[in-house]
């Protein structure tokens, strides 16, 4: 399937039959959740649909899955029907064009980003062209979202800054709301969203107690089939110097996960910003792992965790005006946005680089990266020389 062929799919958007109610031009089906989850066999089957991109190294292992090295993020945009429709159309274009990693959070656009993903997936699955086991669907919880909080799941002392919580009852409620929004029975990766927020309000001992309880509830959700894997999606925690008040130490978090889930625990994913302006995951040794100071990417590899890069374009600030030296080092691509994405997905240890795409035009532009092989580890390290 080519990029241009995927665009015709939108003309059939509202022709599906079924009991539904609209959110803008989207179609959300009541009380229907697609069973299953992403699998190794399914994601490998998906990658085989795109042999040219596969030949250029656009897909790589992500734990048990075969994942595109670019994923579609849904953070930015207006809280309105036009943005809902644009995201849904972009998601359809992305999946039809070779991207099988979708990322959201319940608070993104007040649940509407999750619902845009849900509408797009509903269409794609009902079309018969794609199956649930081919698509990796990720979301997050932690921030209080207007209209999506059950007061019975929280006590006032469990909320920090009037905005963030991670009690087991609250997270369990958020999981179910996200599952309904996304229209899927099982979330492939469920992230605790910016858990380091708590460190601005509670002592580290209390923080570790809270995150241990959160991990325990995530392990329970895995056993119940509501979540496949879980992790932490952060902004500052993994980029901070080790003595910073909000620093997260991966070795300690893995130990807490082992306490509640044993050696076969399901804490397997990390998400953090990584881009041309925020290189700490690769360049800053801030993780003490078994007595050795490592970078986050090195520590994650030792721990057997997968790393996903967010903010690959730094909210579009890296989409233009890159220095000539960067452009020449990241040659073979047409735009600065493509060069910035090439940088993020080429870092040794980064599994997927997320980029917000709220128009099919951006999807098509960004997918041109799939026609160029990622930098080799040696070439990537040479950028820092």
Give the C-alpha separation, 122 to 309, whole Å: 26
Contact 159, 10 (CB under 8 A): no
The count of C-alpha atoms lying within 13 angstroms of the C-alpha of 81, restricted to the half-sphere facing its C-beta, is 6
Higher pLDDT, 231 or 22: 231
Q: Which tokens in the block code for residue 133?
A: 């086991």
What pLDDT digit, counting tens, does each position of 161-217 carry? 999 999 999 999 999 999 999 999 999 999 999 999 999 999 999 999 999 999 999
Average pLDDT of the residues in 227-253: 98
The length of the chain is 385
Phi, psi at residue 364, to the nearest 5°?
-65, -45
pTM, 2 dp? 0.92
Q: Which CATH architecture has domain 50-384?
A: Alpha-Beta Barrel (3.20)
Backbone angles phi, psi at 372, to 5 degrees: -120, 130
How confident is the model over 272-294, as a mean pLDDT?
97
pLDDT in tens, 17-43: 333 333 334 444 446 899 999 999 999
- pLDDT, tens digit, for every residue of 42-92? 999 999 999 999 999 999 999 999 999 999 999 999 999 999 999 999 999
């Amino acid at each position: 399937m080519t990029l241009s062929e995927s665009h015709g799919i939108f003309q059939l958007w509202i022709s599906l039959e079924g009991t539904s109610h609209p959110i803008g031009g989207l179609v959300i089906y009541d009380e229907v959740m697609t069973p299953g989850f992403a699998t190794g066999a399914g994601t490998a089957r998906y990658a085989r649909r795109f042999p040219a991109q596969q030949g250029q190294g656009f897909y790589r292992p992500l734990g048990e899955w075969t994942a595109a090295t670019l994923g579609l993020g849904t953070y930015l945009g207006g809280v309105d029907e036009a943005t809902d429709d644009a995201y849904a159309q972009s998601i359809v274009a992305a999946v039809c064009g070779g991207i099988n990693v979708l990322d959201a959070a319940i608070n993104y656009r007040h649940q509407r980003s999750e619902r845009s993903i849900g509408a797009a997936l509903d269409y794609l699955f009902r079309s018969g062209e794609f199956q649930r086991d081919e698509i990796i669907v990720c979301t997050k919880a932690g921030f209080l979202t207007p209209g999506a909080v059950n007061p019975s799941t929280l006590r006032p002392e469990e909320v920090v800054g009037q905005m963030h919580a991670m009690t087991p009852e609250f997270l369990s409620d958020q999981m179910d709301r996200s599952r309904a929004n996304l229209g899927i029975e099982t979330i492939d990766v469920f992230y605790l969203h910016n858990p380091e927020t708590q460190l601005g309000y509670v002592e580290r001992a209390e923080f570790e107690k809270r995150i241990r309880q959160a991990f325990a509830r995530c392990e329970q959700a895995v056993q119940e089939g509501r979540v496949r894997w879980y992790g932490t999606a952060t902004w500052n925690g993994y980029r901070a110097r080790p003595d910073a008040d909000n620093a997260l130490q991966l070795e300690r978090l893995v130990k807490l996960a082992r306490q509640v889930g044993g050696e076969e625990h399901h804490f397997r994913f990390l998400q953090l910003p990584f881009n041309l302006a925020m290189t700490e995951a690769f360049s800053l040794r801030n993780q003490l792992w078994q007595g050795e100071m490592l970078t986050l990417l090195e520590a994650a590899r030792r721990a057997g965790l997968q790393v996903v890069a967010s903010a690959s374009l730094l909210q579009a600030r890296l989409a233009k005006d890159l220095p000539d030296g960067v452009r020449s080092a990241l040659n073979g691509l047409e735009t600065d946005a493509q060069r910035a994405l090439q940088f993020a997905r080429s870092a040794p240890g980064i599994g997927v680089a997320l980029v917000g795409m709220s128009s099919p035009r951006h999807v098509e532009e960004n997918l041109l990266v799939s026609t160029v092989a990622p930098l080799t580890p040696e070439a990537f390290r040479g950028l820092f020389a």
